Amino acid sequence: MILLGLGSNIGDREQKLQQALQLLEADGKVKIEKLSSIYETVPFGVRDQADFLNMVIRVKTCLAPTELLAKCLEVEQVMGRIRTRHWGPRVIDIDLLIFDDVQIESETLTLPHPGILHRAFVLIPLRDVAPSLPLKDGRLVEALVSGLSANSVREVRHWKNVNWDSSRKCFV
């Protein structure tokens, strides 16, 4: 199972998520299989910025993990992401969360993504896509969501249910 997390807090956030999905599928090397609802979330780390829209998607790909990461970074660049401030505002953020059972720790890629276990804005949409997925520590996503603090859960609000129409490249 290959899972990506997406977020945006600049401009038309929903449109930015949709554009990122279009660009991910554009060359046919990535196919979106399932997506979570969209959630509006309080910014993580740096609070003095607009709220994010976040989601998680499950994909199929012929790409290796490092190639998929490069594809995600390419989409961010095409969409105009400029990295000026750690955890700062971004037009789009695409994180490679899980790539099957692959475990990598390098300067450019860590799999599974090290922030999954501690970020409600990832765990809650991840539950929509893979509630029974065991994570690095062996606990299931559903159990991790149940163990989140009330404060963390309040910072992640359901915003909209969406589905993806790959033939039309849009939310339905």
What is the tens place of the pLDDT at every residue in 92-150?
999 999 999 999 999 999 999 988 988 999 999 999 999 999 987 788 999 999 999 99
Average pLDDT over residues 26-55: 92
Average pLDDT over residues 31-56: 92
In the set 13, 58, 93, 127, the catalytic residue is: 93
Confidence of residue 62 (pLDDT cuts 50, 70, 90): very high
* Distant-in-sequence contacts of 60-68, Cβ < 8 A, 24+ apart: 60/2, 60/30, 60/31, 60/33, 61/2, 61/29, 61/30, 61/31, 62/29, 63/29, 63/30, 65/96, 65/99, 65/102, 65/104, 65/109, 65/111, 66/108, 66/109, 68/2, 68/30, 68/96, 68/99
Asked about 93 being catalytic, the answer comes back as yes
Asked about 51 being catalytic, the answer comes back as no
pLDDT at res. 107: 92
In the set 13, 58, 81, 127, the catalytic residue is: 81
Asked about 95 being catalytic, the answer comes back as yes
In the set 90, 119, 127, 128, the catalytic residue is: 90
pLDDT at res. 56: 98
Backbone angles phi, psi at 32, to 5 degrees: -80, 125
Give the model confidence (pLDDT) of 119-129 as tens digits. 999 999 999 99
Whether residue 103 contacts residue 65, with contact meaning beta carbons closer than 8 Å, is answered with: no
